[in-house]
Structure 1
Amino acid sequence: MRLFGSRVRGETSSTSDLDLLITVSDHWLAQHERCVVLDWLRWRLSKTRSPGDLLPFSESQVAQSRRLCSNVVFQAYAKGLRLDG
């Protein structure tokens, strides 16, 4: 999981949200409905009263996308903070 965006850049305001890129295995994502997972994650995040953008990607999607400078995966890896082990 990577935190990126205004919170990492130190540019937060009262309207700033959390930007989280969540990387899961290809197998795990194939076994779960992306919309159901997103709904559950948003529900959990709503308990913290912190709005957020949750972006789940499979490992292969990350591998393909992290070299393309114009996308969110690149930004999360280039300028974001890794939150998990």
Structure 2
Amino acid sequence: MGLSAAFHVRIATCTHNPAIEMLVQSFPGPMLMSLREAQVAAPLMGHKGTEEHRELAETIQRRDLDTATTVMRAHLGRTAERVSSVETSPTD
């Protein structure tokens, strides 16, 4: 989990956009909590996340903005769907 969070912080740093860096660095607690919840809710998705991280790093290295954008949108979209389904699920 720590490596995944560190990856996101590093990507934010690489944007050289102070607002993005500050935003990502401002919520390490919620990010780690989300990663823990993902591990419980969908343990096999960790492999998918790792693949997406690798693909994103490779597209950035190639300076392939279009593919990097597609990979990141899919990655964040999957996370948003998971978080949204947790928030809307009925409580016992």
TM-score by length of 1: 0.30
Using CA pairs under 8 Å that are at least 6 residues apart, name the structure with larger relative contact order, 1 or 2: 1
Query: Which has the higher Rg, Structure 1 or Structure 2?
Result: 2
TM-score by length of 2: 0.29
Pick the structure with more helix per residue: 2
Pick the structure with more strand per residue: 1
